Amino acid sequence: MSGDSDLIKLYSQRILALAADIPHRGRLEAPQASIRKRAPLCGSTVTVDLDMEDGRIARFAQDVKACALGQASAALMGADIIGRTRAEIEAARDQLRAMLKDGAPPPGAPFHGFEVLEPARDYRNRHASILLALEATAEAMQEAERAACA
């Protein structure tokens, strides 16, 4: 029975609420950059479209096809995404990875709420899905920066 209580803790009401309300859901018309990332183990995918101005995200959309944990992570990121720099996105990605793999604290400001995903530490097969949105966003920002320099 402890397995059932672990799953209930993992898929908390907060996780399910976040998964049901992902900000910036959809696709952008003619974005500066578009990246699709897939977690090979579980098949979750996230597609990020974005535009940047002065090194910050100006427009953003995400199409998330992931488990509830991946959706919750995308929702948390999306809540604070507009106006972020690539350094902020990469720091949040690295902090989230360290939280999941090494027991480090969750990402700090400007991102909030990732502590809700701490119970997923013990589920390594879910880590890739949880990291997808931040990884796709960092990669899309890098692509947009390269395109601007070309």
Rounded mean pLDDT, 87-100:
98
The per-residue pLDDT for 5 is 57
Provide the CA 76 distance to its chain's centre, in angstroms: 7
Instruction: Return the DSSP state at 25.
Output: B
The per-residue pLDDT for 2 is 47
Q: What is the percent of the chain with per-residue pLDDT over 90, rounded to a whole number? A: 85
The per-residue pLDDT for 4 is 52
In degrees and rounded to multiples of 5, residue 107 shows phi and psi of -55, 145
In degrees and rounded to multiples of 5, residue 106 shows phi and psi of -70, 165
Q: What is the mean pLDDT of the chain?
A: 92
CATH of the domain at 120: 3.90.1010.10
Question: 29-46 pLDDT, tens per residue?
Answer: 999 999 999 998 889 999
The per-residue pLDDT for 147 is 84
Rounded mean pLDDT, 92-120:
96
Q: Write out the residue range of the structural domain in which residue 31 sits.
A: 2-149
Q: Could you tell me which residues come within 8 angstroms of residue 65 by beta carbon, excluding any fewer than 6 positions away?
A: 44, 45, 46
Q: How many domains does the chain have?
A: 1
Task: Answer yes or no: is pLDDT of 144 > 60.
Answer: yes
Task: Answer yes or no: is pLDDT of 6 > 90.
Answer: no
- Alpha-carbon distance of 20 to 148, in angstroms, equals 35
Rounded mean pLDDT, 47-66:
97
